[in-house]
Amino acid sequence: MLSLRQVFKEGVRGMMKTETFRALVVDKGDTGLVAAVKPLTVSDLPDEDVLIQVDYSTLNYKEGLGFANRNKIFRILPIVPGLDLAGTVVESKSCRYKPGDPVILNGWSVGERYWGGYAQMARIKSDFLIPLPKGMDTLKAMYIGTAGYTAMLCVMTLEQAGVTPDGGPVVVTGAAGGVGSNAVAILAHLGYDVTALVSARKAFTHDFLRELGAKAFVGGDKWAQTPSPLESQRWAGAVDTVGTTVLARVISEMNYGGCVAACGLAGGIDLSLTVMPFILRGVSLRGVDSVWCPYERRVAAWERLAKDIPDAALKKINRIIKLDEVPHYAAQIMAGKVVGHIVVDVNA
């Protein structure tokens, strides 16, 4: 097997067809899905216009759902999952990228409908890629990953709604998770007064979240119960990753004119509400989607991420795992046993 460094140096033609690289492949088994690290060749990859030598990918709640065979995440089988990747272009039929260019991929249904980042090599549609922002390496990009990028989209959404650091406390729900911990770190870095909502089983994460900049904590049984239409006003803004009664309570506790950026469903997809917060307090509820987010907005988010999330916070939030550890950690995410964000070193 050629080393990937050699492949990059000599060009892919030197290894075409026969040289193998490692990929985590999910396929149908007798009793469900099976995942295994397998040797593939470049000719096994889908026919897209940019071939990338992958450095890192990430593991997220969505892949947890996929490996658990829930929510029809893996739309094609076999599939190489991995909704994020960062690496270097090896070969390109697109005029936008040339060999040697460092690139990032997030979303666009990659890892769901297209093969993704859990491999040492990937072929990706050029429209799905963005250039690695200046001042960022591929490891930092995946420390951030879709989790940090989504957190930044939420922050940008709050800013566009007029939520400012001097407007009063903001709350982040699911704060110990990938998106939540990034949102805490970004908002605190920007000067917001951040309160973190963590469930009772994550109470041990208070110190971790304080280090990221959380000033206060909320939680407890009431967050699992349907709130009154209008609770006491507490929040100028909110980033919600949980949904269900948590989102309902956040909305009912918003200050006059406040905004909630809702991006997740970690607690459930239902939402039982009245119109009262909207019509009596002018509260706004804005949805945030990272997967199909237009190119210009995602580039803007990544440019912000290059400066608005401290490296020290990223180091605290992240742990790095090996390719063959992905199925284990995917199950851990679904069991609620993961704190922060996971990077996958596909070359380890």
List residues binding ligand NDP (CB under 6 A). Answer: 60-62, 146-147, 150, 174, 176-180, 199, 201-202, 223, 241-242, 246, 263-267, 288-291, 333, 336, 338
Instruction: List the Cα angle 331/175/245 in 5-degree steps.
Output: 85
Tokens 């990659």 identify what position?
110
Question: For residues 115 and 112, what is the distance between their CA atoms, to the nearest angstrom?
Answer: 7
Question: For residues 255 and 220, what is the distance between their CA atoms, to the nearest angstrom?
Answer: 21
Q: Could you give the angle at which helices 138-160 and 295-308 cross, rounded to 10 degrees?
A: 110
Which CB atom, from 209 or from 323, has the smaller least distance to ligand NDP?
209
Least distance from C-beta 63 to ligand NDP, angstroms?
9
Which CB atom, from 138 or from 182, has the smaller least distance to ligand NDP?
182
What residues have CB less than 8 Å from 71, skipping those under 6 apart?
65
Least distance from C-beta 248 to ligand NDP, angstroms?
11
Tokens 């957190």 identify what position?
151
Least distance from C-beta 177 to ligand NDP, angstroms?
2
Which CB atom, from 88 or from 332, has the smaller least distance to ligand NDP?
332
Question: For residues 264 and 144, what is the distance between their CA atoms, to the nearest angstrom?
Answer: 17
Least distance from C-beta 257 to ligand NDP, angstroms?
24
Question: For residues 254 and 251, what is the distance between their CA atoms, to the nearest angstrom?
Answer: 5
Which CB atom, from 167 or from 174, has the smaller least distance to ligand NDP?
174
Instruction: List the Cα angle 121/291/243 in 5-degree steps.
Output: 130
Which CB atom, from 150 or from 284, has the smaller least distance to ligand NDP?
150
* Chain position whose Cβ is nearest to ligand NDP: 177
Which CB atom, from 138 or from 150, has the smaller least distance to ligand NDP?
150
Bridge partners (DSSP) of residue 285 are 260
Question: For residues 173 and 179, what is the distance between their CA atoms, to the nearest angstrom?
Answer: 9
- DSSP for 173-186 reads ESTTSHHHHHHHHH
Least distance from C-beta 130 to ligand NDP, angstroms?
16
Question: For residues 342 and 348, what is the distance between their CA atoms, to the nearest angstrom?
Answer: 14
Which CB atom, from 61 or from 67, has the smaller least distance to ligand NDP?
61
Least distance from C-beta 157 to ligand NDP, angstroms?
11
Least distance from C-beta 106 to ligand NDP, angstroms?
9
